[in-house]
Chain A
Amino acid sequence: MKVTLESSDGQVFTVDKEVAELSVIIKEMLVIEQANQDHPIPLLNVGAVELAKVIEYCEHHRNDPTIDDDEDYDSRKKPIEMDDWDKQFTIVNKEMMFELILAANSMQVKPLLHLGCRYAADIVKRMSPTEIRDLFQIDDDFTPEEQDKIEWEKQWTKL
């Protein structure tokens, strides 16, 4: 069975139902709108490029054991293992990856969300605040006093 999805910019994708159901949101929608499957499901927060990428991910992971329990994604547990395909998949530019995180979040594709988060974490790892600012083009909006305060406060939280 096929499901059609519509991205925010109007592009329509047709995917297998089991693929689409990796997204918790779509799965729930399908349950609700069972009678009404001719219309594409609108995904207002997700652009076409990202949606294509999400679908690519879901296609690859369609046979993964489904994990419904939120607990398994609990941040305290070990992160999900990345396979080679995932590693390849994450070789995208950082802008794309961040879009993917947001897309995965709005569609609630949890494994992808966590994959993205790990990627995001890898990016900022061992970077100084200045480097991060340069990378993401963020303005430093601290006053020197605030900067100093944070610098000072961090010592209490070191392990």
Chain B
Amino acid sequence: MDSSSTSTGTKFRSIDYLPEHALEAICNSLSRSDISACARVSKTWSWVFTKALWKELHVNGRRPESDYKNRRFKEALVKNGHLIRTLKMDHYGTLESFFVDNRLAETSQTSSTGPRAGDSKGVVCTQLERLEMVDITEFNVMFHGFTIYDLPLRNVDENLLVRFLQKTSSTLHTLLLTPFPCNRANFLRVISDCLPVLKSVHLISTEPIMEALVKSDDFERFLEHFPPQVEELTLRVSIFDDAAPSHPPHATKHFPLKPEFFADYNTSAGTTTATSGTLAVKKLVLGGDMSCDPDMLNAFLRRCPDLECITLEDLCLETFRPLASVLRKNCSKLKELSIGAMTSPTDDLQLSLLIGASSAGWKRFTIHGVRRNFGPNSTIALRKHFKTLEWLELPKGACMPSQIIRDLLVGGHAPELRYLDLMNVIHGVFHFHTGLELNAVHLLVSPPTATPRRNVPLRALPWTCLNLVYLRIKIHNIPRTELLTPTLRRTSNMLFGVSLDYGTELQRVILGQIGRLVHLEELAFGNKEDQLPECLQYDSDGDAIFDERYPQCNSLSLTLEHGLHALAPLKKLRVLDITCVTHKIANRELSWMKLNWPKLERIDGLLNLVMIPPAESAVQWLKHNRLGWVPDQELKAWCKLYNL
């Protein structure tokens, strides 16, 4: 008996030797829950049965959208995406922000502001059933819904792709091609000819895209056939692809198009009601090392009277300068502006003109990477749009008068504001000779001109931006006297008359203010890009010793003693980012969070923060309560370190 059962044990372990069709037959007689039980038996079984599980993916519209925006879901999908033969979808809205390459993160964020299913005028893709893309998967193309992702161009049979596109042509309305095969003339034709309901086109290339398009004889035809109903257009040179011979990312290259190129352009007749010569493009993204001739840009934009959203990445100065007038002249409906001019030497005035370009008022305003260009002029220009503003993201190093921030947060001037990112703003107004740069908190809770003292009526200015859903804010320099060095403690006592409890009291007030924002889903106190210098040493207890040269380390402490209780009303909170916060979170705090924030999915910076190692009790708690708040790997690493 013993020997026989041992031998069969071996046999059964070799279940993966069964031919595919036998396994398929087995799986067919099993319910999905049975299959998933089998997948959890052992590694071999898992390998066999996971295949069966992922053969069909049902993106269910009844599930909460956040399920599909989840990082872990994305990981699972990237891992198993090639197994999917059948993709069932019954709610496009859940997908749009997801089935987009990470490199298009901004694009996806843009579209996540509201449900889009209704916008698409009935051409919503409801089902893509029995999509047997056997050939495609064999070519190792990740098929992600409407996105062809990381197309290995050298291997792909063009005809297969054409067939694929034709197959989905009646429903396909978002197309992302990366890398975009600029040199495949046939491909361009396919896009233009057989995708009648295409709404959104993202072409990302590793070579200068326009240049390549122009070189190809078919580009004129491509544009001729360019689906006039397309509302989103991205032309971007990707600088992320290591495999491809990379162009210097910021090489200043001129758009080699003739200005008359766009001027000559006419839409093919009769396909839409749009008047001849106009495009329906509402959203335009120009990116990469692409700079273009302003005349041409002008001509192009003139074709897009409906343009609502424009994203400009890395435009050169020559383009940037006249852009404001071009936009003002041509695009009266502009509502969203996003600038990522990393290298453009724009100045405050140029920027302010651009900001002022919308007559209707910005709903959404984002700048990345413009260093120190966002000054007083820009601020004043932006202030005009406060009434309509829903989304504000300010660049690194933006100098913003404190009054503006007060307007936004406590003044009630921006009633629509949902998303606010003040992480990178320098509150350069108050600099004290002690080196203690005053921080947002002081500006927010006390009148701008008053020196913060104990008797400042901190509660007199309640935050009014109660609609905020997303808040990123840098709160530091809290005079947490227990963290200050004796010298600094004396100085701050002298200057502010700060008592030992002042820091704690202040923190409670801050947290109390944030606790009022009951709609918050994401709250970030950290700033990943702005890694702090190696200024810390640890004492024998593992606590950080703060160097007084870096007083910014005195940030919020998210402990129950310091008033974490005040954040209890944030029932919708999903993501908490505490990178670079001296949070000192232990198991008590985590239990509290579990209890009070039912929707919490992620805590960034809990384990991977730069300054302080996480508390042992916190690691233990996380290990015990597997909630997926932190990445498994990091947790594992810390468990190992603490011998848990």
The residue from A138, A148, A151, A152 contacting B45, defined by CB atoms under 8 A apart: A138
> How long is the Cα–Cα vector from A136 to B37 in the complex, in angstroms?
14
Binds A, one of B10-18, B182-190, B412-420, B455-463: B10-18
Q: Is the CB of A156 within 8 A of B57?
A: yes
> How long is the Cα–Cα vector from A127 to B49 in the complex, in angstroms?
15
Is residue B42 contacting chain A, with contact meaning CB distance below 8 A? Answer: yes
Q: Is the CB of A101 within 8 A of B626?
A: no
> How long is the Cα–Cα vector from A137 to B23 in the complex, in angstroms?
20
What residues of A have a CB within 8 angstroms of the CB of B24 in the complex?
A: 75
Is residue B121 contacting chain A, with contact meaning CB distance below 8 A? Answer: no
The residue from A113, A138, A145, A154 contacting B636, defined by CB atoms under 8 A apart: A145
> How long is the Cα–Cα vector from A113 to B18 in the complex, in angstroms?
10
What residues of B have a CB within 8 angstroms of the CB of A159 in the complex?
A: 32, 56, 58
> How long is the Cα–Cα vector from A125 to B11 in the complex, in angstroms?
19
Chain A 109-150 interface 0/1 with B at a Cβ cutoff of 8 Å (1 = within)? 000011011101110111111001100111111100111111
What residues of B have a CB within 8 angstroms of the CB of A141 in the complex?
A: 42-43
> How long is the Cα–Cα vector from A102 to B34 in the complex, in angstroms?
22
Q: Which residue of A lies closest to B12 (CB)?
A: A136
The residue from A127, A142, A153 contacting B76, defined by CB atoms under 8 A apart: A153
Chain B 44-73 interface 0/1 with A at a Cβ cutoff of 8 Å (1 = within)? 011000100110111000000000000011
Q: Is the CB of B76 within 8 A of A151?
A: no
B134-155 interface with A by 8 A CB criterion: none
Q: Is the CB of B25 within 8 A of A157?
A: no
> How long is the Cα–Cα vector from A61 to B504 in the complex, in angstroms?
85
The residue from A94, A117, A128, A154 contacting B22, defined by CB atoms under 8 A apart: A117
Q: Tell me what chain B mostly uses at the interface: helix, strand, loop, or mixed.
A: helix
Is residue B191 contacting chain A, with contact meaning CB distance below 8 A? Answer: no
Q: Which residue of B lies closest to A158 (CB)?
A: B32
What residues of B have a CB within 8 angstroms of the CB of A114 in the complex?
A: 25
Chain B residue total in the interface (Cβ 8 A): 51
Task: Knowing A117-B29, A157-B54, A157-B56, say if A137 contacts B37 (CB, 8 Å).
Answer: no
Is residue B36 contacting chain A, with contact meaning CB distance below 8 A? Answer: yes
Q: Which residue of B lies closest to A77 (CB)?
A: B28
Task: Knowing A141-B43, A142-B43, say if A124 contacts B9 (CB, 8 Å).
Answer: no
The residue from B27, B37, B43, B73 contacting A127, defined by CB atoms under 8 A apart: B37
Q: Is the CB of B636 within 8 A of A151?
A: no
Task: Knowing A76-B28, A156-B73, say if A138 contacts B22 (CB, 8 Å).
Answer: no
The residue from A116, A145, A150 contacting B39, defined by CB atoms under 8 A apart: A150
Task: Knowing A145-B632, A153-B76, say if A101 contacts B18 (CB, 8 Å).
Answer: yes
The residue from A117, A126, A137, A149 contacting B6, defined by CB atoms under 8 A apart: A137
Closest chain-A Cβ to B336's Cβ sits at a distance in Å of 32
> How long is the Cα–Cα vector from A137 to B58 in the complex, in angstroms?
33
Interface centre among B9, B25, B29, B73 (most CB of A within 10 A): B25
Q: Is the CB of A118 within 8 A of B22?
A: no
* A-B pairs under 8 A by CB, number: 140
Task: Knowing A129-B40, A145-B632, say if A138 contacts B29 (CB, 8 Å).
Answer: no
What residues of B have a CB within 8 angstroms of the CB of A157 in the complex?
A: 32, 36, 53-54, 56-58
What residues of A have a CB within 8 angstroms of the CB of B13 in the complex?
A: 136, 138
Is residue A79 contacting chain B, with contact meaning CB distance below 8 A? Answer: yes
Closest chain-B Cβ to A108's Cβ sits at a distance in Å of 10
Q: Which residue of B lies closest to A121 (CB)?
A: B29
Closest chain-B Cβ to A68's Cβ sits at a distance in Å of 15
> How long is the Cα–Cα vector from A158 to B8 in the complex, in angstroms?
31
What residues of A have a CB within 8 angstroms of the CB of B76 in the complex?
A: 149, 152-153, 156
The residue from B17, B38, B58, B77 contacting A124, defined by CB atoms under 8 A apart: B38
> How long is the Cα–Cα vector from A125 to B37 in the complex, in angstroms?
9
Q: Is the CB of B9 within 8 A of A138?
A: yes
Is residue B433 contacting chain A, with contact meaning CB distance below 8 A? Answer: no
What residues of A have a CB within 8 angstroms of the CB of B57 in the complex?
A: 156-157
Closest chain-A Cβ to B575's Cβ sits at a distance in Å of 18
Chain A 92-105 interface 0/1 with B at a Cβ cutoff of 8 Å (1 = within)? 00110011011001
Closest chain-B Cβ to A116's Cβ sits at a distance in Å of 8
Q: Is the CB of A105 within 8 A of B73?
A: no
Interface centre among B11, B13, B28 (most CB of A within 10 A): B28
Is residue A73 contacting chain B, with contact meaning CB distance below 8 A? Answer: yes
Interface centre among A75, A94, A137 (most CB of B within 10 A): A75
Q: Which residue of B lies closest to A98 (CB)?
A: B11
Chain A 61-88 interface 0/1 with B at a Cβ cutoff of 8 Å (1 = within)? 0000000000001011001000000000
What residues of A have a CB within 8 angstroms of the CB of B58 in the complex?
A: 157-159
Q: Which residue of A lies closest to B77 (CB)?
A: A156
Is residue B41 contacting chain A, with contact meaning CB distance below 8 A? Answer: yes
What residues of B have a CB within 8 angstroms of the CB of A158 in the complex?
A: 32-33, 36, 58
Is residue B595 contacting chain A, with contact meaning CB distance below 8 A? Answer: no
> How long is the Cα–Cα vector from A127 to B53 in the complex, in angstroms?
17
Is residue B628 contacting chain A, with contact meaning CB distance below 8 A? Answer: yes
13 contacts between A and B (CB under 8 A): A75-B21, A98-B12, A101-B18, A114-B25, A118-B25, A125-B29, A127-B34, A127-B37, A129-B37, A129-B40, A129-B41, A136-B9, A142-B42
Which residues of chain B have a CB within 8 Å of any CB of chain A?
4-9, 11-13, 17-19, 21-34, 36-43, 45-46, 50, 53-54, 56-58, 72-73, 76-77, 80, 626, 628, 632, 636
Ranked 6 nearest A-B pairs via Cβ: A121-B29, A137-B9, A136-B12, A117-B25, A95-B8, A75-B24
18 more CB-based (< 8 A) A-B contacts, given A136-B9, A139-B42, A151-B40: A75-B21, A75-B25, A95-B11, A105-B18, A113-B25, A114-B25, A116-B22, A117-B25, A117-B29, A118-B29, A121-B29, A121-B34, A124-B38, A128-B37, A150-B40, A153-B76, A154-B53, A158-B36
